[in-house]
Amino acid sequence: KSALYIVATPIGNLNDISLRALDVLANVDVVAAEHVHTSGHLLAHHSITTRRITLHQHNETVMAEKIATLLAAGKTVALISDAGTPGVSDPGAKLVDLIRQQGYPVIPIPGANAALCALSASGIVNPQFLFYGFLPTKTGARRNILATLKCYTCTLIFYEAPHRILDCMADLILVFGADRKITIARELTKLFETIHVSTLGDALAWLKTDANQQKGEFVLLLSGAAVQDKSMVSEQAQQILKRLLADLP
């Protein structure tokens, strides 16, 4: 009977949860939730009264051991995070790793994820994307990471917090240029859901003129480098390779 369920929960609208997820949350012995308040709101909305414990980024290692003990005693446990899919820019991976090592079943219950929700409504035709998640919060580190992504031709997907959105956009312009296309997906599935497609330069100007657009939760989808940029890179790479080959005995 012992099993760990990884259950996706809504990213805003409390009805965005699968029938299977509700069934699992109502019938497991214990729900391990990131925060008591957020999970309480969701579970009460769906009249679920299952016993809860908390697992967050600061106690994941200790709680993973505790959950392993529960499974050893034949219990079933469901992990949920505050929003969306656990383990995606959220705790869960360390727990899953331990439980897998101990040989118990780990069963994913799929559902909402902010990145894929944004991508699905973006109209971006490129089938390839790279999910980066949160960029570093310090400017220097953020710019360094962005520089390493400059030549990628796939769509780049970032999560960003409202108090950093303007700084992040300014750094994107610095590294990728004002003409690169961006989709800003804000407050998905919520009252003020906004999906805005423009160049980086226009997007920053738009954000600055409306303080309301700087609030809430953001997914940024940055279009990939044009293919000619890629060939420039491969030309550069070819030059380096030539020089390296010339040095070989």
Contact between 11 and ligand SAM per CB under 6 A: yes
User: Which segment (37-45, 63-71, 81-89, 202-210) binds ligand SAM by CB under 6 A?
Assistant: 81-89
Helix (H, G, I), strand (E, B) or coil at 211: helix
Residue 167 Cβ vs ligand SAM, minimum distance, rounded to whole Å:
15
User: Which segment (93-101, 158-166, 202-210, 223-231) binds ligand SAM by CB under 6 A?
Assistant: 158-166
Sign of the alpha-carbon torsion through 183, 188, 189, 190: negative
Contact between 83 and ligand SAM per CB under 6 A: yes
Diameter over CA atoms, the chain: 73
Residue 32 Cβ vs ligand SAM, minimum distance, rounded to whole Å:
15
Cβ burial, residue 145 (10 Å; 0-12/13-18/19+)? middle
Q: Which is nearer to ligand SAM, 63 or 188 (CB)?
A: 188
Phi (first) and psi of residue 154, to 5 degrees: -85, 165
Count the residues in the chain: 249
Angle of CA points 177, 179, 182, to nearest 5°: 95
Site string for ligand SAM, 100-139 (x = CB under 6 A): -------------xxx------------------------
Q: Are strands 194-199 and 51-54 parallel, antiparallel or unpaired?
A: unpaired
> Of the candidates 77, 66, 95, which has an alpha carbon nearest to the alpha carbon of residue 30?
77
Q: Which is nearer to ligand SAM, 64 or 71 (CB)?
A: 64
User: Which segment (16-24, 83-91, 198-206, 233-241) binds ligand SAM by CB under 6 A?
Assistant: 83-91
On whether the CB atoms of residues 122 and 197 are closer than 8 A, the answer is yes
User: Which segment (85-93, 102-110, 141-149, 203-211) binds ligand SAM by CB under 6 A?
Assistant: 85-93
Helix (H, G, I), strand (E, B) or coil at 25: helix
Residue 233 Cβ vs ligand SAM, minimum distance, rounded to whole Å:
29
Contact between 217 and ligand SAM per CB under 6 A: yes
Q: Which residues bind ligand SAM (CB under 6 A)?
A: 11-12, 81, 83-85, 88-90, 113-115, 159-161, 185-190, 217-219
